[in-house]
Amino acid sequence: MTPAEIFNIANPVALVAWLALIIARFVPSLRRWVDPAAGYVVPALFAVVYIWLLGPGALDVLKNGSFNSLAGVGALFAQPRALLGGWIHYLAFDLFVGGWIAREGSALKASAFILTPILLLTFLFGPAGYLVFVLVRFAVRRNVQ
């Protein structure tokens, strides 16, 4: 399979998982299945793809670039397998964080109308969505005590 073909499969899988997380905020009976599937299983599958992409050739990838400079990282990602690996890395970790936000938000009994924009923000801009949720979580916990 080419990197482009894997990309064309991974993106819709991630999108469906994100949509399921959001829909499950509005349909609590779905959470029992959706939250572990979208928050653990799909990121784990992405991790397998990531390891398959980079594992055998990881040292070869490092020969063409490095983590020591922005130019070195750019050189790493100039290779299609490494670029796809980086993208899969983002998909896996952002979805894992989104799953945590969904589960934690449900435990806090946060409204789906509050969690949905946070999940969308996490989907689009991972760390920003995480930060907003952490601040909301802090405020909710502070008001409860």
Reported pTM: 0.89
Each residue's pLDDT expressed in tens, for the chain with a length of 145 residues: 888 999 999 999 999 999 999 999 999 999 999 999 999 999 999 999 999 888 766 666 667 777 889 998 888 888 888 899 999 999 999 999 999 999 999 999 999 999 999 999 999 999 999 999 999 999 888 776 6
Other Cβ atoms closer than 10 A to 107: 9
Please name which of 122, 133, 66 lies closest in space to residue 90, comparing C-alpha atoms: 122
Question: What is the residue whose two structure tokens read 């894992």?
Answer: 96
